[in-house]
Structure 1
Amino acid sequence: MSSSTATGSAQLDASAQPPCLRIAGDWTLAHYVVLERNVDALTTPLTDATQVDLAALGELDTAGASLLVRLLGAKRMADLAREAPGLPAARRALLQTVGSALDAYRKPARKPKTSAITEVLARIGGAMESVWRQQLQLLGFIGLTLEALARSLPQPRRWRITSLVSHIEQTGLDAVPIVALLTFMVGAVVAFLGSTVLADFGASVYTVDLVAFSFLREFGVLLTAILMAGRTASAFTAQIGSMKANEEIDAIRTLGLDPVELLVLPRVLALLVSLPLLTFLAMIAGIAGGGVVCALTLDISPAMFLSLFKADIGVRHFIVGLVKAPVFAFLIAVIGCLEGFKVSGSAQSVGEHTTSSVVQSIFVVILLDALAALFFMEMNW
């Protein structure tokens, strides 16, 4: 057996009775490669009768301790106090700690390989489960909102008029320019495309009916709702989500206030007021855009446009379009507020739930609009 050197060593003296394993030198990370080869070279298995001599052990760190644990076994580390009474307490504690950690470690089981079809089906199933869970949460939150509304309506002192007016300004008045501009341009495009197609049949005059019918029944409320889903629902989620991240909602509950009544009801009521008004504005702007195109390209004067509009388009088309606005407003506001309450506390979570609120709102609006169009068509309304 060689004496202790800078580089550690482990040699088994099989001629001694009983056999003795002598550990010497520094067992540190700097000598890990050499030490690992030395440990692997000890092909003779150690028995319980083999003695361990740690008298010449030099420096020791966790890398060297892990090699000693691999060489001697984790269970034997617990007996170091008995087998090596001269070993310093710090080194004995290091060896025992590393030994217990390695003994408790278990390699994670390798996941079985699955086919691509199985993975696709699993992802579809996970997505469907997530959608179902979101719908259940949405239904529950709608119930909470309606319950808070029913509780506060009979008590005028609990009405938050200032907050309501502020949100009406933000969701309604501030959205007038973008809604009017967008629907005006879409109305102009619809009129231009309609006149181009109808001109082949000599029916360009029916462009008036096309623009009026489409904007009164569908485009006015649909475009406005989509704009509100992208503009207002995202704002609601970001506002409430930031409060959730800053623990302001917890502070509201601590003060004995209801966050739904304080934060959700003013936003929902504000959008219930704003969206029908914006829908009416969108109808007027879209029809005006179509009237401009008719005047410029079809020589249909504004007076003739209004005359045809009055003769061919009934009030029921306006009612069919406007009646959908409060439903869309309620769902957009509720979805935006719900996603805000789902924020976990980080900026990333705020962004994720803001995106989710916009996607969900637009999806729900388009889905309900399609169902409503089929229903009204079947009812011949």
Structure 2
Amino acid sequence: MKARYQYRIYPTNQQKQSLAQLFGCVRVVFNDALAFSKESGKYPGVSVLSSQLTLSKKTAEREWLKDVSSVPLQQALQDLDVAYRNFFKSIKGERKGPKVSPPRFKKKTSQQSARFAKTAFKLKASKVYLAKIGDLKTKWSRPLPSEPSSVTVIKDCAGRYFLSFVVEILPVTVEPENQGVGVDLGIKTFAVLSTGEKVSSPNYDKLNRKIRREQRKLARRIKGSKRRERVRLRIAKLQARKADIRKDFLHKLSTRLVRENSVVALEDLNVSGMVKNRCLARAISEAGWGTFRAMCEAKSTVIEDRQTVVISRWEPTSQICSGCGYRWGKLDLSVREVVCLNCGSMHCRDGNAAKNIEKSGLELAQDSNWTGRVCKTGLPAMPAEPSTCLDVA
């Protein structure tokens, strides 16, 4: 299976100028191909767009495209092809998930990227060579598991540069400590586990105050001025720090849960619908429930004998006693502790829901293992002989 390994790089001033020129050329090629597709009324395909790119390099308006490597320019056309294919599959209903919108034009202020194929880059001891860019100083935080097939150089909105390698990895074997765990996600407490453990999310209040203060300054700056650009960069750095803190927290928690448990049971939350509540939209977005679920599902494929099970959102996990199974009905969100009318045990609302999620998740995991087995019945089914007994009324 394939995975991405990302590393921070520190280009020189001359390399930053070369990368800026490369990003601009990739952006222009993508936008020109998209504009040509819209003008023609249908998507012409990669071969036609590639021939148009070759012709445009011979004109005076696009002659400067020859100054950069041709590999990232061709990869930009491949990206447009993937975007159109995903859009067409979404229209036909062949793609799972929400509807995909048609490709849009790239902006200069957004994140910039350029992808190099295997023929256009080379790994060295402590640096990475990119065609027509040079040797980039790379911070190797961990070794690459295999030879990369491609590398993408990225510049985020905060002005940081990264290299993202696509490598082939093999599943690892780790002995699980527990059979399964149920996870009830929340806002104040990010996750309540069926073991009784409560995991709190990082506190972003200090960063949010700084971001709001800088955004008020940005609103008073004149568009196009250097002062506005400096304030925009400060906001981007604060938001990048906030995103890094959240990503680090989610990675550590998802890795620990997947390593320690054979089955990680989650609830299918309607995050897109919950975000429409303007009172809770910021808190739900900061929590990162969808990212946490995606991380757990991805890491379950890396470690053998691991499953991430998602139970139905209509499962009444907060309405059933995890001890005796008595259903007391729907409760108001202000009720945090419940006393069962049947067995008399007291439950924490979130802890009780996590235990019910674990039970449902283990049942789904067992059902999927049973129905997904490879072996089949050896002998064909034979009709049973008629019974000679008499039914007694």
TM-score tier, shorter chain, comes to under 0.3
TM-score scaled by length of structure 1: 0.22
- Structure index of larger Rg: 1
Of Structure 1 and Structure 2, which has the larger fraction of its residues in strand? 2
TM-score by length of structure 2 reads 0.22
Greater share of helix: 1
